[in-house]
Copies of this chain bind each other. A is one copy, B any other.
Amino acid sequence: MATLGAPSKKHKVTVVGSGNWGSTIAKIVAENTKAHPDVFEEDVQMWVYEEEVTIPKDSKNFDASADEPQKLTTIINKYHENVKYLPNILLPKNIIANPSVVDAVKDSTILVFNLPHQFIGRISKQLEGQILPFARGISCIKGVNVTSSEISLFSEWIGEGLGIYCGALSGANIANEIAAEKWSETTIAYDPPMIDSRAATPQGGSPSTSQINLTITPADDEHKDARGRVSKAKLKAVPSDYAPLDHAIFKMLFHRPYFHVRMVDDVAGVSLGGALKNIVALAAGFVDGRGWGDNAKAAVMRVGLLEMVKFGKEFFGHSVHAGTFTEESCGVADLITSCSGGRNFRCAKMAVERGVGVEEVEKTELNGQKLQGTSTAKEVNSFLKTRGKVDEYPLFKAVLDILEGRNSVDDIPDLVAKADD
Contact = CB atoms under 8 A, between A and B. Distances in A.
Interface of A is mostly: helix
Contacts of A329: 298-299, 302
A329 to B, nearest CB: 6
A305 B337 CA distance: 15
Contacts of A178: 295
Contacts of A309: 327
Contacts of A197: none
Contacts of A337: 294-295, 297-298
Contacts of A295: 172-174, 177-178, 182-185, 337
Contacts of A340: 294, 297-298
Contact of A185 (B174, B302, B323, B334): B302
Interface stretch (A72-80, A107-115, A254-262): A254-262
Interface residues of A, number: 48
A91 interface: no
Contact of A174 (B173, B182, B294, B417): B294
A182 B296 contact: yes
A185 B302 CA distance: 9
A189 interface: no
A387 B383 CA distance: 51
A413 interface: yes
B293 A174 contact: yes
A327 B305 contact: yes
A292 to B, nearest CB: 4
Contacts of A333: 298-299, 301-302
A134 B414 CA distance: 35
A344 B143 CA distance: 35
A178 B299 CA distance: 12
A257 B328 CA distance: 32
Interface in A331-360: 332-334, 336-337, 340-341
A262 B420 CA distance: 7
A341 to B, nearest CB: 6
Interface in A304-333: 305-306, 309, 322-323, 326-329, 332-333
A97 interface: no
A302 B333 CA distance: 6
Contacts of A185: 295, 298-299, 302-303
A377 interface: no
A183 B302 contact: no
Nearest to A339: B336
A399 to B, nearest CB: 15
A237 interface: no
Contact of A258 (B182, B184, B413): B413
Given A293-B177, A294-B174, A332-B332, A260 B184 contact: no
A292 B340 CA distance: 14
B299 A334 contact: no
Contacts of A305: 327, 332
A296 B183 contact: yes
B413 A296 contact: no
Interface in A173-221: 173-174, 177-178, 182-185
Nearest to A291: B182
A270 interface: no
Which of A262, A297, A301, A336 lies at the interface centre, i.e. has the most chain B CB atoms within 10 A of its CB? Answer: A336
22 contacts: A172-B294, A172-B298, A174-B293, A177-B293, A178-B295, A182-B292, A182-B295, A182-B296, A184-B295, A184-B298, A258-B413, A260-B299, A260-B416, A262-B420, A294-B340, A297-B336, A298-B336, A301-B333, A302-B329, A302-B332, A322-B327, A326-B332
Given A182-B296, A257-B414, A260-B413, 7 more contacts: A172-B299, A172-B302, A177-B296, A184-B299, A297-B337, A297-B340, A298-B334
Counting from the closest, the 3 A-B pairs by CB-CB distance are A184-B295, A326-B326, A298-B333
